Structure 1
């Protein structure tokens, strides 16, 4: 799972195995160690109708409604977005990059713009 923050925009991108694990467990988290402190970012399934996010005790949690999770896993839907007050939220499947990058992308979804 990757996180991107820019201004009032929060985006999570998940690989195929991340999506499968999240579907089974309803919770997924990653931790970034800054030495003396850690930043945790998590995705949690819940019952309210829209995406929502909180920041508490160095943990960013993006909440995703259960019906969205079901649709996301069962279809080709790339992701969901919602503006919560002033914060833009997006959760999406992570596609393979079209250019050469050093990171392992073998678990990412095939990019629909790739030509064979």
Structure 2
């Protein structure tokens, strides 16, 4: 370089260049920190999603099991009711036959079923 004294403008420009270099360094550091934080948040989110999927799958299995048990109970209740109704129907049919035989034996006129 020359032996001439530096001008004020050159000093200011060099200072600005140094300041810009520091700002660029800080921006790069901030960028790297943000990348790291985003990666951490992404990993945490993936973990939460996996956990949520497992919870939902477990809840669905429990719900399916409970529903199956309720269906089995309902079927049992319907079968018991059906058996009971058929049983009553048989008893009523037998009673009607006996009443008919008694009416015939006693020679009673049949009732009008109007």
TM over 0.5: no
TM-score range, shorter chain: under 0.3
Select the structure with the greater relative contact order (CA < 8 A; seq sep ≥ 6).
1
Q: TM-score if structure 2 supplies the norm length?
A: 0.15
- The structure with more strand, counted as a fraction of residues: 1
Rg bigger for which structure? 2
